Amino acid sequence: MRSTIGKTVAAFAVLASSVSFAHAGDVEVLHWWTSGGEAAALNVLKQDLEKQGIGWQDMPVAGGGGTQAMTVLRARVTSGNAPTAVQMLGFDITDWAKEGALANLNDVASAEGWDDVVPGALQKFSKYDGQWVAAPVNVHSTNWVWANKAILDELGIAQPTTWDELVAAMQAVKDAGKVAVAHGGQAWQDATVFDAVAMATGGPEFYQKAFIDLDPDTLGSDTMKEAFDRMAVIRSFVDDNFSGRDWNLASAMVINGEAAFQFMGDWAKGEFLNAGKAPGEDFLCFRFPGTQDQVTFNSDQFALFKQGDTPSDEQAALAKAIMSPTFQSAFNVVKGSVPARVDVPDADFDACGKQGMKDLAAASSSGNLFGSMAHGHANPASIKNAMYDVITAHFNGEYDSETAVSELVSAVELAQ
């Protein structure tokens, strides 16, 4: 069955190359980076290519953290009109590679020595069956805490390093009449917090077994129940108006001093910087208590879709451009993430950025770098969303922790 699809897709690709690719020498890029900062970062790439005489055809489809774009991609591929390159996350790349739709970049990769500079945990997604199929742009780490320094100072709270300290800190903030945790009630945000809580509660092995290996016993374990219990604790420190709130509005609450903490990935930094806040002075960034050594990540990559038997020159050029250290640096400085290759100089990055790069390198070498479940880097979309359902339902009080654990087990089973 896989080969049938592969053939179909390949056939369409051939058809596409003969029908709709009149613009030889151009690349069409499907992505969802449409905010000012992201677009500026992407513009670096665009100009890079244009210098080489390769035109950039922009195909932005925003919405739902890329889900809208993935729907469009499916229609485009099915119609035999696949874009040249597509922004993708984690298991989506693997899924598309399984369908035989992605181009083999091994030639570029070996020439450029990607194998040596990209962390193994990332390569797991960039490669399929030993072949490079995507070029990673960045690494976001998701287990960050963003804190309003003024509030912490005022209440005499030190940077918490354990779960208990965090609870105490949250309680102190709450007692002071402020919102302890700024949170937006959307499934992926709930899951982002759960990611960190689970890692802190059970440690890396537990995380690996539960979210990556999908071991039913671990999923149904008491540790998992403990993690859900902690989610309930966090819920009690979130204001009542959280449902449906966008994450950047939650960030704004920390920025404005309405709330003390936000548990969010490193993209939140942009919000603070845009608001004229300085890291270390106005706000603090630190790992979620209990996960100081671990990094859960997600990585934006560009998967290159087959346009023929071998990747086109433009695709090779694009892949090369994405992986160039200068682009990786320039892009990630703007985006707030860290480069996907570990050999990029950190000169242009700010304190949080430098910290992130250091953490990444350390975690990578010590085996503490894990794909984030909440961001589709631990398990495929079907399972991720099944977990979302349970986590969100529990966070909204539809399940108690016990039910949540058993629901989690059966939801994962159903989604497999």
Partner 1 sequence: MATNASSQVVRTGAGARFVIYTLLAIFCLYYLLPLYVMVVNSLKPLSEIQAGGMMSLPREWTVAPWQSAWATAQIGVAATGLKPYFVNSILMVVPAVAISTVLGALNGYVLTKWRFRGDTIIFGLLLFGCFIPFQMVLIPMARMLGLMGLAGTVPGLVFVHLVYGIGFSTLYFRNYYQQFPTELVRAAMIDGAGFFTIFRRIMLPSSGPIAVVCIIWQFTNIWNDFLFGASFSDFDSQPMTVALNNLVQSSTGVKEYNVHFAGAIMAALPTLLVYIVAGRYFVRGLMAGSVKG
Partner 2 sequence: MATTANTRAGNDWLRNALPKLVLSPSFAMVVIFVYGFILFTFYLSFTDSRILPSYGLVGWENYAKLFKLRAWGIAIDNLLIFGSLYIIICCLLGLALAILLDQKIRAEGFIRTIYLYPMALSFIVTGTAWKWFLDPGIGLQAVMHSWGWESFAFEWIKDRDMAIYTIVIAAVWQTSGFVMAMFLAGLRGIDNEVLKAAQIDGASNWALYRRIVIPQLRPAFMSAFVVLAHMAIKSYDLIIALTGGGPGTATELPATFMYSYTFTRNQMGIGAASATIMLMSIAAIMVPYIWSELREKK
CB of 144 to partner 2, least distance (A): 24
Return the number of the residue (60 or 185) whose C-beta is nearest partner 1: 60
Under a CB-based contact definition with an 8 Å cutoff, are residues 369 and 363 in contact? yes
DSSP state letters, 112-154: HTHHHHS-HHHHHHHEETTEE-EEE-EEEE--EEEEEHHHHHH
Residue listed under structure tokens 């690349």: 27
Q: Is 35 in the site for partner 1 (CB under 8 A)?
A: yes
For residue 140, CA distances in Å to 253, 269, 356 come to 22, 11, 9
Q: Is 144 in the site for partner 1 (CB under 8 A)?
A: no
Q: Is 70 in the site for partner 2 (CB under 8 A)?
A: yes
Work out what residue 270 binds among partner 1, partner 2, none; the CB cut-off runs from 5 to 8 Å by kind.
partner 1
Q: According to CB under 8 A, which one of 48, 92, 190, 271 is a site residue for partner 1?
A: 271
Work out what residue 5 binds among partner 2, partner 1, none; the CB cut-off runs from 5 to 8 Å by kind.
partner 2
Return the number of the residue (169 or 179) whose C-beta is nearest partner 2: 179
Select the span of 223-231, 286-294, 347-355, 377-385 touching partner 2 (CB under 8 A): 377-385
CA distance 415 to 355: 37
Return the number of the residue (70 or 317) whose C-beta is nearest partner 2: 70
User: What are the helix and strand counts (H, E) for the chain?
Assistant: 19, 15
Strand ranges in 278-318 using DSSP code E only, listed in sequence order: 283-287, 295-298, 300-304
Q: Is 241 in the site for partner 2 (CB under 8 A)?
A: yes
By three-state DSSP, how is residue 10 classified?
helix
Under a CB-based contact definition with an 8 Å cutoff, are residues 283 and 147 in contact? yes
Q: According to CB under 8 A, which one of 203, 216, 220, 380 is a site residue for partner 2?
A: 380
DSSP 8-class letter at 379 = S
Q: Is 77 in the site for partner 2 (CB under 8 A)?
A: yes
Residue 86 φ then ψ, to 5°:
-135, 130
CA distance 280 to 222: 37
Residues forming a β-bridge with 136: 301
CB of 183 to partner 2, least distance (A): 12
CA distance 282 to 147: 9
Kindly list the residues in this chain that would bind partner 1 in the complex (CB under 8 A). Answer: 12, 15-16, 19-20, 28, 31-39, 42-43, 46, 56-66, 68, 71-72, 74-76, 78-81, 83, 246, 248-249, 252, 267, 270-271, 274, 336
Kindly list the residues in this chain that would bind partner 2 in the complex (CB under 8 A). Answer: 1-2, 4-5, 9, 64, 67, 70-71, 74, 77-78, 95-96, 98-99, 185-187, 240-244, 380-382, 384-386, 389, 392-393, 395-398, 407, 410, 414-415
